[in-house]
Amino acid sequence: MGGARVVRTPRLSLEEATPNDAEFLLRLMNEPGWLEQIGNRHVHSISDAERYIESRLVESYRSHGFGLWIVRERESEEAIGLCGLVRRGFLRGIDLGFALLASAQRQGYATEAARACIDYARGELKQTELLAITGATNDRSKALLATLGFVGGEALRLPDSKETVLLYQLTLAPVT
């Protein structure tokens, strides 16, 4: 079992990452889809994954009260991806991030997890807008963002990089 449970859906549990998730993250972050669409994060060993968990994921939980969470199938408790909220210094607000193992794709898990994160941003964090970025060639992520109601797709150059991504936004109606 993982860290503190943040969100539950009918099929999924989103939980804070712990060092016990290092093997899973090593696997996820070295899948061809991750490397192609997200990029090499230099996580090539269990110790690299443990450092990543501490410096990126756990640090975000401490600093912001949210972050990327481990997505688990509720029934099996198997980790299948990451989904959550990210605070990046170069964006005007919080953005939604997601990535699933190839074996967990095309089953509606990304949509289910992302909708839970949107609800969390609206309800728990009282956000009125949520952002998302994706690569220009990541058609599946662009389609998911459209399904979730995100609009835009303006080109945005990443700081200290030649890479350009697409920026989307979603207006969140207040919880009534």
**Domain limits, the chain:** 5-126
Query: Distance between CA 79 and CA 104 in Å, rounded?
Result: 10
**What is the value of pTM for the model shown?**
0.93
CA distances from 68 to 83, 117, 158 (A): 5, 10, 20
> CB-hemisphere CA count at 13 Å for 13?
16
State residue 4's pLDDT score: 84
Token pair of 172 as six digits: 């969140």
State residue 2's pLDDT score: 58
Token pair of 46 as six digits: 């269990």
Going by the DSSP 8-state scheme, the letter that residue 82 receives in this structure is E
Token pair of 94 as six digits: 């919080």
State residue 13's pLDDT score: 97
Q: What is the pLDDT along the chain (176 residues), one digit of tens a residue?
A: 457 888 999 999 999 999 999 999 999 999 998 988 888 899 999 999 999 999 999 999 999 999 999 999 999 999 999 999 999 989 999 999 999 999 999 999 999 999 999 999 999 999 999 999 999 999 999 999 999 999 999 999 988 778 899 999 999 987 66
CATH number of 5-126: 3.40.630.30
Going by the DSSP 8-state scheme, the letter that residue 146 receives in this structure is H
CA distances from 95 to 11, 68, 75 (A): 23, 10, 28
State residue 10's pLDDT score: 96
Q: Is the dihedral of CA 84, 28, 23, 10 positive or negative?
A: positive
Query: Distance between CA 21 and CA 174 in Å, rounded?
Result: 34
State residue 5's pLDDT score: 81
